[in-house]
């Protein structure tokens, strides 16, 4: 336990950037931590990553592959990381989180939903499953919290 606490205060591991290349989807894979994904009225994708204070930038990757922005961190220490992502409204989302909190905020209404919650709390508000919808959200959280909420964009 002491090792995890010490590891969380060592400097480094932050990245903030925009991807202006058009993408149809954002795929995220994180071992543990907190992920907030918000659909807003914008072009491109904004990403803010805080790796929990550990200087492991090489463990965090973000690349556009076949029209999808693929974001991954294989950090396995207890303090995890925090990821904030802004995407255009029409972006498909696919997220895997081993442990932690995943919050997704999108336009209210029908989405093709594939949500898998292991141990923890699942909350879906103002979004409903519509397999015929053009937009999709797939999310897997093994342990923690998964929240999908429909919200009107105020910008």
Exposure on the CB side of residue 100, measured as CA atoms within 13 A: 24
Under 8 Å between Cβ of 95 and 38? no
Domain regions of the chain by residue span: 18-150
Structure tokens at 79: 């303090």
Global confidence as pTM: 0.87
Give the mean pLDDT of the chain.
86
pLDDT in tens, 5-49: 334 444 447 889 999 999 999 999 998 889 999 999 999 999 999
pLDDT in tens, 102-131: 999 999 999 999 999 999 999 999 999 999
Phi then psi for residue 75, to 5 deg, are -60, 130
Under 8 Å between Cβ of 12 and 49? no
- Chain centroid to CA 51: 14
């Amino acid at each position: 336990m002491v090792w995890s606490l010490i590891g969380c205060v060592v400097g480094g591991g932050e990245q903030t950037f925009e991807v202006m290349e058009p993408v149809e989807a954002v795929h995220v894979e994180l071992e543990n931590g907190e992920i907030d994904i918000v659909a807003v009225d914008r072009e491109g994708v904004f990403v803010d990553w805080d790796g929990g204070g550990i200087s492991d930038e090489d463990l965090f990757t973000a690349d556009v592959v076949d029209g999808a922005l693929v974001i991954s961190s294989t950090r396995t220490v207890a303090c995890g990381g925090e990821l904030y992502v802004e995407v255009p409204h029409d972006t498909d989302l696919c997220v895997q989180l081993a442990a932690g909190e995943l919050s997704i905020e999108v336009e209210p209404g029908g989405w093709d939903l594939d949500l898998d919650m292991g141990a923890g709390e699942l909350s879906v508000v103002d979004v409903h499953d519509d397999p015929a919808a053009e937009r999709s959200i797939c999310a897997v959280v093994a342990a923690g919290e998964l929240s999908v909420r429909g919200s009107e964009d105020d910008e």
